Amino acid sequence: MNPKKATLVQLRNVMTSQGAHILLRKIDWTIREGECWASVGPSGSGKTTIAEALAGQRHVTRGEIVYPFAADDVPSSGDIILISSESQMDACLDISPYYQARWNSAEEEQRCTVRHFLSAQGIYGASE
């Protein structure tokens, strides 16, 4: 742990639940500038639940998530965007099955680029 790196997000004793069913319990996690993390585990282990909580899409029942980069530790809309496998699949329904083969782009000049896919227009369908 390098104390000189700025803290980007910190989960403190976070718990989430759905009805009476506890989904996550006692999660403590600090994400610092320059770090790369991967959330791995079997289906149903809580990977998406943590991502949804970080993105503000899931209510935190106990504990807190602190965003030091944001005013009042509350991120603005668009500061954190969750791109799930489901949203990627939905977005890819309208594009060529050769999307991953960008080297074939001469076949079809209207292919979706990564920049467009991750833009507000690509994610929300918003106008530029």
pLDDT higher than 90, residue 15: yes
Q: Let me know whether 62 and 118 are in one domain.
A: no
Write down which residue in 73, 95, 113 finishes a domain: 73
The closest of 24, 2, 22 to 14, measured between CA atoms, is: 24
In this structure, the number of other CB atoms found within 10 A of the CB of residue 44 comes to: 9
The closest of 38, 29, 82, 37 to 58, measured between CA atoms, is: 82
pLDDT of residue 56: 85
> Rounded to 10 degrees, what is the CA torsion of 16, 34, 86, 90?
140
pLDDT of residue 35: 92
pLDDT of residue 111: 64
Q: What is the pLDDT of residues 77-127, one digit of tens each?
A: 667 777 777 766 666 665 555 555 555 555 555 667 777 777 766 666 655
Q: Let me know whether 43 and 94 are in one domain.
A: no
1 is a domain residue: no
- The HSE-up count of residue 46 (CA atoms within 13 Å, CB side) is 15
C-alpha distances (whole Å) from 122 to each of 4, 55, 67, 94, 114 are 35, 18, 25, 12, 9
Measure the CA–CA gap between 27 and 58, rounded to whole angstroms: 14
Domain that holds residue 117: 85-124
80 is a domain residue: no
Specify whether the CB–CB gap between 23 and 3 falls below 8 A: no
pLDDT of residue 12: 95
pLDDT of residue 108: 55
Q: How confident is the model at residue 3 (pLDDT cuts 50, 70, 90)?
A: low
Q: What is the pLDDT of residues 21-74, one digit of tens each?
A: 989 999 999 999 999 998 899 988 888 899 889 888 889 999 999 988 877 767
C-alpha distances (whole Å) from 72 to each of 22, 41, 58, 103, 107 are 28, 33, 19, 45, 49
